[in-house]
Chain A
Amino acid sequence: MTAMTETAAKPGRSPRGSKTPRGNSGATDGPALRPRAGWRVKQDLKGASLSLPFLIGFGVFTLVPIAMALKESVFATKTSGLGFGKATSTFVGFENFAEALADTSFWAGMLRVFIYAIVVVPLGQLLSLAMALVLDGVRRRVAARFRIVLLLPYMVPGLVATMIWIYLYSPVVGPLGDFFQLFGLDVNFFSGNTVWSSIGNLAIWGGIGFNMLIMYGSLQSIPHEIFEAARIDGASELRIALDIKVPFLRGSLVLTSLLAIIGTLQIFSEPLLFRAVTPETITKDFTPAMMIFNQAFQVGNVNYATALSIVLGVVVGIVSAIIYRFTNRIES
């Protein structure tokens, strides 16, 4: 934008010197603008072409599926008789959406994950922030070692992590039960009352390293002169952390919180595996994503599953937008 303003203000000057890109043909200022405009278009196209791979991927793997999803969601598939014949699809308009909006199982699942998110997301953020501040306070070499170790859980695929924790929680072969027994506590991580905590602990364990890394990166970019000035003024390390470092981290906190909320509202693999250990609590439609999976791949109602996906997508979008606006307002 600055370059464009500059060249527009000085039309006679070529960016590379006194000649226009097509030679010194411009007798007047007016005609000399045209070749420069062409050059700029070329440059713009070149720049834009760098985003082409992303745009193609976004189009093929996101926009096209969304278009297909929208199409699927306004149809219903039915058979007849014994169900052995070929199924037929009929256009039903917004019937699937109306059903989704009135589906108590779906909204009960949504409420469940909301309450879960209200507890787990702030807790995870606080822990990540604390770890990032501690890492920022130690020497770089020490921090580098811990950074990798703390990021390890994030590198473990969600399903594998859940399997690991199921073994750790196991009341028979897991070590955690014995550990709590040392303090006279009989903790059953699989019981219906504790399963949310068990899943939450696993989610925080998995996500904490990633959030911490983003925050740590932001902390590293704060100019150190500010800390020096604060120290000279007699500020303690705690005061520096709370009044200088944390405000600087607001952008990272918003980003990681948004990602955590989006991920939490779509929670799927953890409750799916925990279902086996507390089937009386974790039913097939325990979370919105589990219900969508069940409708699509077990009930076989892709049309309704797609409508539910759209509703969930919209809810996640609205929540993200609200949080984004809210945090921006605080900042301004």
Chain B
Amino acid sequence: MKFTNRRRLTLSAAVLASAAMLSACAGGGSVAPAAQETKSGPVTIDVWGWNAETGKQIVDAFNAAQSDVKVNYVLQASNTATQTNFRNAMEAKSDVPCLVQGFAPLTTMVVNGWAQDITDAVKPTEDTYNDGAKAAAKVNDRYYGLPSGADGQFMIINKDTYDKFGVKVPTTWQEFVEAGKTFKAHGVDVTNLAGEDPSTLMNLAQQGGAEWFAIDGDKWKVNFTDKATLAAADIIQQLIDNDLVSNQTYKDRPALYAYFDSGKMASTTTQWWSLTGYKTNFPATSGHWEAVEIPQFSADKKATPGRSTPSFVPVGCENPEAVVKYADWLATPEGIQAGKNPKTGSVGLPSSLKDPSPYVKDIVPKGFFVDDTKAAEVMVEAQTATVGKFELGPNYDAWFPELQDQWGKAVAGQIKLSEALKNVQKFVASDLEKKGISFTAAS
């Protein structure tokens, strides 16, 4: 074939354009266990996390408190940076840490071959932790993660708004819908449902006892349309159909805070670590909020939604016992105090403990609630009733964006939520099929 200059140029342009596309998307390979060096003397373990504020000081306190295990805290820039660096370490099979702060659901870590079974190491001291924390650390009834407390959800209400329109604080989700109808008549939204964030649906489903994924022998049982999920979907559908909610995005944070602080939104579900941000960004309404228990599906059955991403011991680490020793120390009064923030003087809520009440007063921001004592009680109550476990299956990373798509359409009123859930289940089935994973899907 004879190439003229023009043809060469045309071809070069095409090749270069194609090349630019392709060079971004090649790679792959599998992760294999990496050998861990064994040394005499104290066992040294690397711990990866992105706790820039207190990560190092906690480790220093632990190293000073005993001499069997020496922890080296490797500070990561962020959750995303941890994922990238960890993936690289596993690919390179070198410098694999012994403990990694959970950056994705635990089952994802197991499916990727990253988390090792540490049941034997965790079992002897598991009673230190509450049931929710223990459940969250298990996959297929084996510990692949360290017991990790889920942050129990509660609700904060703008008391002025509730009082102004004479609305009783809802204790069930149906009452919540009714409260929304009253607020609507006055141009107030009962809550906000961000179009990109389906966590409200996941939380309500978990609270109602839904099981989107369960292990049955050597197969997954997939069911996005069980009774509990449809009950949760029904409540949210009523909120959407009656136009009782706003759809402010989290991406436009200043707008979101301005709206929360405007008195135009009566209530929102939340967890303890959001409170400091609210206090800082709600200048107009700080001091007018009240913490109340999250509404239930029925008055006689109490459960609090809350999920966690447990820390895990990577495949290749030869000292899981040393890791557990460190983790158990973190749950002692000494370990909890070591995490005191030097700026605020407060410690985080030890949500994995059976009784976190001694620490809860520390996390109530001053001047935000009408009644600080009641807020602390509500938070402890939320913590003790936390479900903890909500199995997200072997392909969470694949189906969550699909759930986001479907949720966005449902919140915008383009489709019904029940239809959205069916679509997600269909997507999950197709993805599992492609991946060769065995499953049965509910019809």
Contacts and interface: CB of A to CB of B under 8 A. Distances in A.
A65 B18 contact: no
Interface residues of B, number: 62
A310 B218 contact: no
Interface in A216-275: 258, 262, 266, 273, 275
Interface in A271-304: 273, 275-280, 283-284, 292, 294, 296-303
A279 B255 contact: no
Contacts of B431: 299
A46 to B, nearest CB: 24
Interface string A79-123: 111111011000000000000000000000000000000000000
A110 B194 CA distance: 28
B198 to A, nearest CB: 9
A81 B220 CA distance: 8
Given A65-B22, A273-B251, A280-B414, A258 B13 contact: yes
Interface string A288-332: 000010101111111101100110111011101100110010000
B185 interface: no
Given A276-B251, A277-B249, A277-B251, A80 B21 contact: no
A284 B15 CA distance: 28
A21 to B, nearest CB: 33
A84 B255 CA distance: 43
Contacts of B248: 172
A136 B30 CA distance: 57
Contacts of A283: 405, 408
A72 B30 CA distance: 13
Nearest to B15: A317
A326 B398 CA distance: 42
Contact of B258 (A173, A312, A317, A318): A173
B27 A314 contact: no
A170 B401 contact: no
B407 A69 contact: no
Given A81-B218, A83-B111, A300-B397, A320 B434 contact: no
Given A62-B19, A65-B23, A283-B405, A173 B254 contact: yes
A68 B28 CA distance: 9
Contacts of B111: 79, 83-84
A183 interface: no
A325 B411 contact: no
Interface stretch (B266-274, B289-297, B302-310, B435-443): B435-443
Contacts of A266: 21
A192 B397 contact: no
Contacts of A302: 25, 27-28
A266 B24 CA distance: 12
A166 interface: yes
Contacts, number: 189
Nearest to B110: A84
A82 B21 contact: no
Nearest to A323: B13
A192 B10 CA distance: 38
B35 interface: no
A171 interface: yes
Contact of B22 (A273, A309, A325): A309
A324 B10 contact: yes
Contact of B23 (A66, A292, A317): A66
Given A68-B26, A82-B215, A316-B17, A298 B401 contact: yes
Nearest to A304: B434
A133 to B, nearest CB: 27
Nearest to A262: B17
B14 A172 contact: no
B162 interface: no
A68 to B, nearest CB: 4
B435 A324 contact: no
A39 interface: no
Q: Name, among B18, B26, B404, B408, the residue most crowded by chain A CB atoms within 10 Å (CB to CB).
A: B26
Contact of A79 (B195, B215, B437): B437
Contacts of B2: none
A160 to B, nearest CB: 14
Top 8 A-B residue pairs of the complex, sorted by shortest distance between their CB atoms: A279-B408, A317-B14, A78-B436, A313-B18, A313-B21, A172-B255, A280-B412, A276-B251
23 contacts: A65-B22, A65-B23, A65-B25, A69-B26, A78-B435, A79-B436, A80-B438, A82-B437, A83-B432, A83-B437, A84-B113, A86-B113, A167-B252, A170-B255, A273-B251, A275-B196, A276-B249, A277-B249, A277-B251, A299-B395, A305-B25, A321-B13, A324-B13
Given A62-B20, A79-B436, A277-B251, 5 more contacts: A66-B19, A192-B412, A280-B195, A320-B14, A320-B17
Interface of A: 61-63, 65-66, 68-69, 72, 77-84, 86-87, 166-167, 170-174, 190, 192, 258, 262, 266, 273, 275-280, 283-284, 292, 294, 296-303, 305-306, 309-310, 312-314, 316-318, 320-321, 324-325, 328
